[in-house]
Amino acid sequence: MKILTTVAQAQAQLHAKRRVLVPTMGALHRAHAELIRVAREHAGRNGEVAVSIFVNPLQFEPGSDFERYPRPESADEEFCRNAGVDLLFRPSVAEMYADNRSVFVDESSLANTLEGRSRPGHFRGVCTVVAKLFNILSPDAALFGEKDFQQLAIVRRMLRDLNFKIGIVAVPTVREEDGLAYSSRNQYLSVQERKQAPVLYKALCAAANAGKKSAADVVAIAREIIREAPLAAIDYVEVVDAENLQPVERVGLNSVLLLAVFFGKTRLIDNIRLG
């Protein structure tokens, strides 16, 4: 496995074979292993799987967990080796961003709701770093998890509108045995918070299986179940159109239920298709 830490090194790695990228912020876990496994399928026997690890400061709003976000470099490196990764790109902040940087990528429609409403500027950071990674590593395809549903929709919109010639592969959410979606932030949960966190998936499934066509009814079911967890504090629970992320009144084939809930200071997100 090649480990690259500078943009110059990465751009010097010319490749004639198919390269598939898995962009991450590190603290790798089973869901990342699934992304890497699917990436290998899409790269083919003669292709190349690249993983980027970069904790992107532009994605973190003031007062968030940027400084304490886990950065287990040695463990992540070993994880990638064991997973059969061909290329690991692990740049520093200084390598990725000039001190006087003044150009950003800003999606202005899908990013204004849900996560964007709760975390202003977050998706500006996502789009900027993803565009940079695409330009630096020149992948033929990139993989994103469906757990971050809004991020996936925004990246797809960015590629469409800016004419990136890169395929996007969506990978279904990977869950722990009790239904909690894998996330690097799960390790922040206290023992009691972790015991209650599976209520999110319970709420999603109950709402999806209730047979309700009114979005308000679906949201009410999910909220009622989440309230069963004393440590849960709801940020949002919404039913939206999967393509434009706008609220819908009636559940249809293209509807998705998304939620964000705090357990203490830890904010978890999840979603489920309703159609």
Residues tagged active-site: 32
pLDDT confidence of residue 91:
98
Last residue of a domain, one of 171, 200, 223: 171
With a CB cutoff of 8 Å and minimum separation 6, the contacts of 229 are 196, 197, 199, 263
How far is Cα of residue 134 from the mean position of the Cα atoms in its chain? 16
Would you state the pLDDT for residue 172? 98
In terms of Cβ atoms closer than 10 Å to its own Cβ (0-12, 13-18, 19+), residue 54 is: buried
**One domain for residues 144 and 21:** yes
Task: Determine the Cα angle at 18 with ends 15 and 22, to 5°.
Answer: 100
Question: What is residue 64's predicted lDDT score, i.e. its pLDDT?
Answer: 77
Is the domain of 208 the same as that of 253? Answer: yes
Contact predicate 275/255, CB 8 Å? yes
How far apart CA 38 and CA 205 sit, in angstroms, is: 25
Q: What share of the chain is helix, strand, coil (3-state, %, to 5)?
A: 40, 20, 40
Domain coverage including residue 191: 184-270
Please give the angle made by the CA atoms of 123, 128 and 133, to the nearest 5 degrees: 125
Partners of residue 237 on adjacent β-strands = 259
Q: What tokens appear for 157 in the block?
A: 């919109």
Same domain, yes or no, for 166 and 208?
A: no
Burial class of 68 by CB neighbour count within 10 A (0 to 12, 13 to 18, 19+)? exposed
Within a 10 A sphere around the Cβ of 23, how many other Cβ atoms? 23
Any alpha helices (H) in the chain, and if so which ranges?
Answer: 7-12, 30-43, 73-83, 93-96, 115-118, 122-137, 149-162, 191-196, 199-208, 215-226
Low-confidence ranges of the chain (pLDDT < 70): 63
Task: Report pLDDT for 62.
Answer: 78
Determine the pLDDT at residue 67.
85
Same domain flag for 193 and 161: no
Residue 257, beta-bridge partner list: 239, 272
CATH number at residue 242: 3.30.1300.10
Same domain (yes/no): 20, 76: yes
Total domains in the chain come to 2
User: At residue 26, what is the residue type?
Assistant: G
Tell me what pLDDT residue 136 has: 97
- Name every residue whose Cβ is closer than 8 Å to that of residue 262 and which is 6 or more positions away in sequence: 232, 233, 234, 235, 268
Residues 24, 91, single domain; the answer is yes
Question: Is the residue at 127 inside a domain?
Answer: yes
Q: Are 270 and 204 in contact (CB under 8 A)?
A: yes
Q: Return d(Cα 105, Cα 125) in angstroms, integer.
A: 8
Can you tell me which residue has the tokens 């023992």?
191
Do residue 74 and residue 158 come from a single domain?
yes
Distance of CA 215 to the CA centre of its chain: 25
CA 204, chain centre distance (Å): 18
As a whole number of angstroms, the distance between CA 180 and CA 38 comes to 21
pTM of the prediction? 0.95
- Max distance between CA atoms of the chain, in angstroms, equals 55
Phi, psi of 120 (to 5 degrees): -55, 135
